[in-house]
């Protein structure tokens, strides 16, 4: 199967083409340049893979949680392409996509499979987006619900103490998440960002399960409604940080 994947939910921008298991990807840390880069990269990667748009089976998107503008952009681009081609969209959690980054973490003594991963993205405003996953057979299986939460209030499920941590949420709020839960983790990568190549891998599995949907049915996962703190909330947040 052939997939075109857009991952624009964080400060990183990436696009990937999945061609029967072969992946072509462009990735760049490019804040505020997602709209400029996404479509040209898509055309470049399709040409590199040797396929045309009408040979795609579906479009994959990272549906959030993440930056409001980035999540909306991916949905808008995917809907435009999918509607024009009469193709479905495969939405995948941004946190699940991020969780696959843990496959590069190999602490001594750790078994290859399954791995338990706690993915965390800096949500700004003194909060993080988090979710826990088990990586198995190349897929990411959710162990709890996605939440937006203060990092010092976050918890990991169960009594397992060999977690792998990935994502900018571990560096947010002066490392409060790492400080509070660090003893539960075998390794942490606080610089990890989601990649479209991982999105394509998860989307291919989801497509095979029948999880593709019509473009008009796509819903973003924002987890919260407000995008900025009020002045009173900013003052309260600074007071709690002292």
Under 8 Å between Cβ of 23 and 202: no
- pLDDT for 112 equals 53
Kindly report the average pLDDT of the chain as a whole number.
Answer: 91
Q: Which two tokens stand for residue 13?
A: 């921008």
pLDDT in tens, 94-118: 999 999 999 888 654 455 557 999 9
Predicted model pTM: 0.90
pLDDT in tens, 72-98: 999 999 999 999 999 999 999 999 999
What's the pLDDT band for 225 if we cut at 50, 70, 90?
low
Residue 110 backbone phi and psi in degrees, to 5:
-80, 140
Mean pLDDT of 1-11: 98
- pLDDT for 27 equals 98
């Amino acid at each position: 199967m052939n997939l075109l994947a857009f991952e624009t939910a964080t400060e990183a921008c990436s696009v990937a083409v999945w061609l029967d298991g072969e992946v072509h990807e462009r990735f760049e840390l490019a804040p505020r340049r997602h709209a400029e880069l996404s479509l040209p990269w898509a055309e470049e990667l399709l040409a590199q893979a040797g396929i045309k748009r009408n040979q795609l089976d579906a479009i994959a998107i990272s549906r959030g949680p993440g930056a409001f503008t980035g999540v909306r952009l991916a949905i808008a681009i995917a809907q435009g392409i999918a509607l024009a081609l009469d193709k479905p969209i495969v939405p995948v959690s941004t946190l699940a996509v991020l969780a696959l980054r843990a496959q590069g973490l190999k602490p001594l003594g750790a078994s290859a499979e399954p791995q338990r991963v706690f993915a965390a993205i800096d949500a700004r405003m003194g909060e993080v987006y988090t979710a826990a996953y088990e990586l198995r057979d190349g897929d990411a299986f959710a162990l709890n619900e996605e939440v937006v939460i203060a990092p010092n209030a976050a918890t990991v499920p169960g009594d397992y103490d060999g977690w792998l941590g990935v994502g900018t949420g571990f560096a947010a709020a002066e490392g409060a998440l790492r400080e509070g839960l660090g003893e539960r983790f075998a390794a942490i990568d606080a610089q990890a960002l989601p990649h479209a190549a991982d999105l394509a891998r998860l989307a291919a599995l989801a497509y095979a399960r029948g999880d593709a949907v019509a473009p008009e049915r796509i819903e973003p996962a924002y987890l919260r409604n407000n995008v900025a703190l009020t002045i009173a909330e900013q003052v309260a947040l600074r007071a709690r940080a002292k």
